[in-house]
Chain A
Amino acid sequence: MNGAWGPGAASANVQGFDTLFTALVILSVVIVLLVGGLVVVFGVRFRKGTKVERHAVPTLVSREVEIGWTAATAFIAIFIFWWAASFRITGAVIPDDALEIHVEAKQWMWKVEHPSGARELNALHVPRGQPVVLKMASQDVIHSFFVPAFRLKQDVVPGRISILYFEPTRTGRYPLECAEYCGTDHARMGGEVVVMEPELYASWTAAQPQADNLAREGAALFTAAGCSGCHSPASSVHAPQLDGVYGRVVNLIDGRSVVADEPYIRDSILRPARDVVAGYDPIMPTDFSRILDDGEITALVSYIRELGAGMPPGDETLRSPMMETDR
């Protein structure tokens, strides 16, 4: 059912969504019939000239009526809120084994990088039954990643990583659309999401032109962009060592402390003077936002994240000749 009569149903949260949506439709129909029915009945019965008894509603009764429907309305409103909120909270928990795919939005295309290094444009292949988390960045304006068949969308805001989690449940091809107005070709910034059986997904990724995986690409950039000149153990410059920094609590020069998560590392590359680590001078060049594009920054962040798992910084053995030709 993916056409003029239904948006399709291809992710784990669709069922809960549809139940809630249907309940609200029924509630709306009931209220419209109730209000409409009363208006019609009163309009006919009490139209000018009819010979019905018309008495003032006693104050006490009218007050009870008012309190009654105020309470009923409030109860219904709070009940729906509770239902919707609990459903949303459940859907917000991302399992640890989720497949992490990076999406980069720019006017007017979607660039996708799979963990294996496979890349695609305006399409997203995902395995059925596997939780997927998209980490999305925008190079220019705000876009919004919208898959009606999943009943999900997420704005992709420049300057931060936007996260969208879903679990595809049915194979097929589903429209992908940009939902946040982003300029001239906003309406054409679409594509498709292809849900495949896991085995097919595996062979699909294997068949893609072999780019390097993100962390390896980041490792190469770490040297090429000059990061290793300061951030490696051999360096004479006094700069923070990044080995194992990911996920740790970092004390800042102004007394705050932050967790070195992805947004923090990203910010530290783009705006190094903002959150300076205690004990260091703000000497890092500030023009990386002009030198590196969003994809490269994502790769660097992935690399630094891998360092948390024990890869030494600036390890030349990780550089891949394949990668150089790919750039």
Chain B
Amino acid sequence: MTDAAIDTTRGAGAPNYLTAGTRVRSWLLSTDHKRIAILYFATITVFFMIGGAAATLMRMELFTPEADVVSADGYNKLFTLHGVIMVFFFLVPAIPTTLGNFILPLAIGARDMAFPRVNLISWYLTLSGGMLALASMLLGGVDTGWTFYTPYSSVYSNSYVTLAALGVFISGFGNIATGVNFIVTVHTQRAPGLGWRRLPLFVWSIYATSIIFVLGTPALAVALLMVVVERLFGLGLLDPARGGDPILFQHVFWFYSHPAVYIMVLPAMGVVTEVITCFARRRVFGYTMMVGAMLAIAVVSFFVWGHHMFVSGQSLYASLIFSFLSFVIAVPSAIKVFNWTATLYGGHITFESPMLYAMGFVGLFTLGGLTGLFLASVPIDVHVHDTYFIVAHFHYIMVGGSVAAFFAGLHFWWPKITGRTYNERMARAAAILMFLGFNFTFFPQFIVGYLGMPRRYHVYLDQFQVWNVASSLGAVILAAAYILPLCYLGWSLIGGHKAGDDPWEATGLEWQTSSPPPEHNFERLPLVTEEAYAYHEKHEHPKERGGGNQDSQGTGHRTRQERSGGRHGPGPHADNPAGGGR
């Protein structure tokens, strides 16, 4: 852990959550949501690097059409490792358990989550699930792909499927517990005055995600359990030779795994909204629509799973209904893109690194979303299904989108989490490099998929090589862009300047406490008198607004709490109010 490094550079004063205890035990048994978030950060960073290493080996293998780096089975185990680790142990928990865990209680003015001990147990569940999955990979690997399709996984595969499936199964309970915790926290722990219509969209997004966690994850558990009992006890659920139906697995699996895409994307949308409003100095355009769109996505996402099965032999009419619903879910996603764009209108925009990452998200998410329209069209999906077109599409959404947003949030809240600033120039360079490297890596995959290269191939036809070479070269840039933040963020812990409590002049409640926050978040609990994102009134007609109706027209999430002064130089938007407007 990095607390030791921070401790040495931290000045005297009231202990913050990092200095409140330095022993290993004080971390491993902590019920402080902020420390648990740090535990999650460490965990998912390790998993991200493992999954990334597997991807690197795959891109090396795919540089030529022949098999030259790994064997066929070796490659099959690599993409399974990459998929299982990245989906279940990085992307799904990434934003909710780290940024969500850290920021959500602060953002609603709470002292902690509603169930702090459940929060800690969730981390242990995630960790033990991850360890089981990792053990299965180290013992000899799993070769089913992260989708565990039957009857291959339940009967034919000679690899450690049971162990990996149990790992995912166990970590699922961690996700369910986290989801319940967030829902209860948002319902019961909001600061006085923080009504539902004043909630920051990041909180709404975690709330919507939690609904999917709670309702969807049990379906995944059932799907994996079916595989496990068929493997272990020969129960004929999925194997047609024993009277089972392999398609049953696909239905149950995708009933979770499609909404799971939105588990990855909804929190990303929340993060990006916080960042864009802050750096555009504008209230978000269409708050109500943004909330409605997220809730609509959370609900409709449960009714589109059949679009993964257009070529499975399901009834054409079922396919058409799922196709229709998939087009329907595109509408709220499009609205969000338009609203972020419109939020920029009339702003005072600056382009610090979180903003660059967030704009990268908007671009990549738009491309990913548009290619989703292709896949929702049955005849086009029949051609590009299970090709690199799909691979490119979901990487645009889940990696281009969610990971860019994760980095946006990480850079945005880093000063709050660590109390330190990082090298802004390096951060901007990394953000731009990540955007370019990502497109360089994954755009060629749309083309090679359209040309007909199936996914999960370690050898391929010669005519696909040019696009694979491009993709592998792009992956080099992308890898560099992912390693860069590890360096400058790591360095900031040792050599970074003190950040101040609100370096971005942001309005969220989390910025009204010190950086890093004290153990119980706030000296005094805030009282909210304002909507979220009241950034721009102070820039428009500042003279007309000075006096009377501050309660409704004032600035930001103002609180009763005194804000300690002198933390940073005059920011770009220094016409700040002095606290207190209730």
Contact = CB atoms under 8 A, between A and B. Distances in A.
Interface of A: 2-7, 13, 16-17, 20-21, 24, 27-28, 31-32, 35-36, 38-39, 42-43, 46-49, 54-57, 62, 65-66, 69-70, 73-74, 77-78, 80-81, 83-85, 87-89, 91-92, 107, 140-142, 144, 146, 148-149, 151-155, 157-160, 162-163, 175, 177-188, 271, 274, 289
B562 interface: no
A159 B22 CA distance: 60
Given A24-B380, A28-B367, 17 more contacts: A6-B451, A31-B370, A38-B341, A43-B344, A46-B345, A46-B347, A49-B348, A56-B537, A73-B335, A80-B373, A81-B377, A84-B323, A84-B378, A141-B152, A141-B155, A179-B311, A187-B72
Contacts of B323: 81, 84-85
Contacts of A184: 72-73, 76, 143
Nearest 7 pairs between A and B by C-beta? A159-B240, A148-B452, A84-B377, A42-B344, A187-B457, A151-B383, A77-B327
Contacts of A13: 379
30 contacts: A4-B466, A5-B451, A20-B379, A20-B380, A35-B366, A39-B344, A39-B362, A49-B348, A62-B285, A62-B342, A66-B335, A70-B289, A77-B331, A77-B373, A83-B377, A85-B324, A85-B378, A87-B379, A92-B316, A148-B451, A153-B382, A157-B240, A163-B313, A175-B461, A179-B311, A183-B76, A183-B156, A185-B72, A187-B459, A188-B459
Q: Is the interface of B mostly helix, strand, loop or mixed?
A: helix
B218 to A, nearest CB: 25
B318 to A, nearest CB: 12
B240 A158 contact: yes
Contacts of A271: 243
A219 B380 CA distance: 41
Contact of B379 (A36, A49, A73, A84): A84
B289 A66 contact: yes
A88 B322 CA distance: 14
A87 to B, nearest CB: 5
Given A46-B344, A55-B540, A31 B330 contact: no
B491 to A, nearest CB: 28
B331 A155 contact: no
B522 interface: no
A138 to B, nearest CB: 9
B396 to A, nearest CB: 12
A28 B324 contact: no
A179 B370 contact: no
Nearest to B343: A42
A4 B451 contact: yes
A187 B460 contact: yes
Interface string B231-261: 0000000001101011100000000000000
Contacts of A70: 289, 331, 335
A43 B376 CA distance: 32
Contacts of B320: 85, 88-89
Given A24-B374, A183-B152, A144 B386 contact: yes
Contacts of A180: 149, 386
A70 B328 CA distance: 11
Contacts of A48: 281, 348-350, 572
Contacts of A183: 76, 143, 152, 156-157
B189 interface: no
B286 interface: yes
Given A55-B540, A66-B335, A80-B327, A7 B451 contact: yes
Contacts of A3: 463
Contacts of B387: 179
B285 to A, nearest CB: 7
A276 to B, nearest CB: 15
B339 to A, nearest CB: 8
B349 A47 contact: yes
B537 to A, nearest CB: 8
Contact of A35 (B324, B341, B345): B341
A21 B382 CA distance: 12
Interface in B148-191: 149-152, 155-157
A187 B320 CA distance: 30
Nearest to B314: A155
Contact of A7 (B341, B380, B452, B536): B452
A184 B156 CA distance: 11
A214 B385 CA distance: 32
A55 B380 contact: no
B377 A24 contact: yes
A186 B379 contact: no
Interface string B328-358: 1011001101110110111111110000000
Contacts of B316: 88-89, 92
B539 interface: yes
Contacts of B75: 187
A7 B450 contact: yes
